[in-house]
Amino acid sequence: MAKYNPKKGLIQKAAIARQQIGIDDVAYRMLLERRYGVTSSKDLNIKQLHDLIHNVYIGEYGWEPKPSKNKKPTPTQKKGKGYQGEFVEINPKDPLAKQKRYALALAALLGWKLSGLDTRCKRQFGVEKFIWITKQSHMQTLIKDMQVRCKKRGIDYEPNA
């Protein structure tokens, strides 16, 4: 199974933005040299790639990502497939039911879609769907990460007692 490489994804996003904005190769290399001291996006670190996308392309050029014209719909985008209305039923007999409901609440606070939660679980734990998680350690890892993300964003994630 290939590991997800966030830097590669950011390089691709930057290349798409550059193409959609219409920056030619010479101007692009001058921009990189002036702002970061490099001539290729491959030489940028993740922080610099975020800066390029958010502060330069979005902030200065006003770029807004456009959906691909030839991208096939994901199963959740097809009619009658995936989650309907972002709703999932948790089996009350599931030993992890309480934790799964809490994780779903955290995901909602973070603005995550259920399909994104499934993707995360597939990449991190090798489980196709979030609701199919059966290992306590996987739930603990997922919840702890979401709590850290909430804390960083200043979101109150503590359940009311």
pTM of the model: 0.47
63 and 20 Cβ atoms separated by less than 8 Å: yes
For residues 121-138, give the mean pLDDT: 90
Hey, what amino acid is at 93?
Answer: K
15 and 23 Cβ atoms separated by less than 8 Å: no
pLDDT at 78: 45
Instruction: Read off the pLDDT band of 140 (50, 70, 90).
Output: very high
HSE at residue 33, side-chain half, CA atoms within 13 A, is: 7
Residue 1: pLDDT over 60: no
What SS3 state is found at 141? helix
Q: Give pLDDT tens digits for 20-40.
A: 888 999 999 999 999 999 999
Rounded Cα distance, 153 and 111, in Å: 12
Domain ranges of the chain: 6-60, 72-161
| CB neighbourhood size of 129 (10 A) | 15
